[in-house]
């Protein structure tokens, strides 16, 4: 049995997969707010309760915001900043008395979709989470590409490509820079951009619904979003040239985003033809927790 944990800023999700990859248990609990020790304890209790219920011990993989630093083993780059600087792997291994694997949540997402989801069989997949934050992960030939610094795919904190004058310097990002892709493409960023452009204070889903209903301000906001998403993907395609770009997170539920982005890609991709597929995650919001379980081979 493989157990996956998706440790988010507001909830912790656990899933147990059987040897065929089917989910046999899945549940979620709130993340203890701003309390690292309580978070480690909560994960320990979740694993133990699932193992008691199923009468079996499992391997444990954890998807987190940010990732452990290859240099120190300490967590870094997490937007839920309570994790940063903490020895999460060592603390979980002590609590659970077994080896634990930890990966960035976008890497877990990409691994899940490349293993048995929308990017299954693709030689190279770029997984993108467009949610409250923006993350990316790369899976090539079935394996996560980590990179020398453990940040491969961390594209949300690159600057927005081909910026227009009104997009400079761009919004301030929590990482300390201005105009990161995340500050344009996250759900909250979309809502902020809409309000800044004179639109009503709506969340991302409501703006898309208003655009569908023909509201001119919402149509304009969504068009800006689509063009920025296309530029951000095109810059990755020009470097990595993945076969599939697979999207997760709240914005991935916008059905008409896919055709709209693929129609716009040829304007930015350095090629006479563009065959890259931009697709929605097959496993929806359980991709993260499934990918965390996939961090260990089937036993």
**Binding positions for Zn ion, rule: CB under 5 A:** 157, 173, 175, 177, 180
Cβ distance to Zn ion smaller for residue 139 or 151? 151
CB of 173 to Zn ion, least distance (A): 3
CA distance 46 to 286: 17
Burial of 184 (0-12, 13-18, 19+ CB in 10 A): buried
CB of 177 to Zn ion, least distance (A): 5
- The whole-angstrom separation of Cα 167 and Cα 165 is 5
CB of 133 to Zn ion, least distance (A): 9
* Three-class DSSP labels, 125-137: EEEEEECCCEEEE
On whether the CB atoms of residues 31 and 11 are closer than 8 A, the answer is yes
| Dist. CA 164–CA 170, nearest whole Å | 10
Nearest distance, CB of residue 241 and Zn ion, angstroms: 24
Instruction: Indicate the residue among 26 and 177 with the shorter CB distance to Zn ion.
Output: 177
Nearer to Zn ion, 46 or 130 (CB): 130
- Is 66 in contact with 84 (CB distance < 8 Å)? yes
Q: Which is nearer to Zn ion, 57 or 175 (CB)?
A: 175
Q: Say if residues 203 and 155 touch (Cβ distance below 8 Å).
A: no
Q: Which of 135/242 has CB closer to Zn ion?
A: 135
Distance CA 41, CA 91 (A): 10
* Min CB(175)–Zn ion separation in Å: 3
Minimum Å gap between C-beta 103 and Zn ion is 20
Cβ proximity to Zn ion, 173 vs 208, nearer residue:
173
Pairing relationship of beta strands 143-144 and 11-17 according to DSSP bridges = unpaired
CB of 244 to Zn ion, least distance (A): 25
Residue 100 C-beta: closest distance to Zn ion, Å: 28
290, 23 in Cβ contact below 8 A? Answer: yes
Which CB sits closer to Zn ion, 180 or 274?
180
Smaller CB separation from Zn ion, 101 or 157: 157
């Amino acid at each position: 049995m493989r157990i996956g944990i998706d440790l988010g800023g507001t909830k912790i999700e656990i899933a147990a997969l059987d040897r065929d990859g089917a989910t046999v248990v899945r549940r979620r609990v709130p993340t203890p707010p701003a309390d690292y020790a309580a978070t480690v304890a909560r994960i320990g209790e979740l694993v133990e309760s699932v193992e008691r219920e199923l009468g079996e011990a499992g391997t444990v993989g954890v998807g987190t915001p940010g990732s452990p630093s290859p240099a120190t083993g300490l967590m870094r780059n997490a937007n839920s900043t309570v994790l940063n600087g903490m020895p999460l792997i060592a603390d979980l291994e002590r609590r659970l008395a077994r080896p634990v694997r930890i990966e960035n949540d976008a890497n877990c997402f990409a691994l899940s979709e490349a293993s048995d989801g929308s990017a299954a069989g693709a030689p190279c997949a770029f997984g993108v989470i467009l949610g409250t934050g923006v993350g990316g992960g790369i899976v090539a030939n079935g394996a996560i590409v980590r990179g020398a610094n453990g940040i491969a795919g961390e594209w949300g904190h690159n600057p927005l490509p081909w910026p227009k004058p009104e997009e400079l310097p761009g919004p301030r990002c929590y990482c300390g820079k201005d105009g990161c892709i995340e500050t344009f493409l996250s759900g909250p960023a979309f809502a902020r951009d809409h309000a800044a452009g004179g639109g009503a204070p709506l969340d991302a889903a409501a703006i898309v619904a208003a655009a569908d209903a023909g509201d001119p301000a919402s149509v304009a906001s969504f068009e800006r979003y689509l063009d920025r998403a296309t530029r951000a993907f095109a810059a990755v395609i020009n470097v990595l040239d993945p076969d599939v770009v697979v999207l997760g997170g709240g914005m991935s539920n916008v059905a008409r985003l896919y055709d709209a982005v693929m129609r716009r890609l040829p304007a930015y991709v350095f090629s006479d033809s563009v065959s890259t597929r931009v697709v929605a995650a097959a496993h929806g919001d359980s991709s993260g927790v499934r990918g965390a379980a996939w961090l260990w081979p089937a036993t």
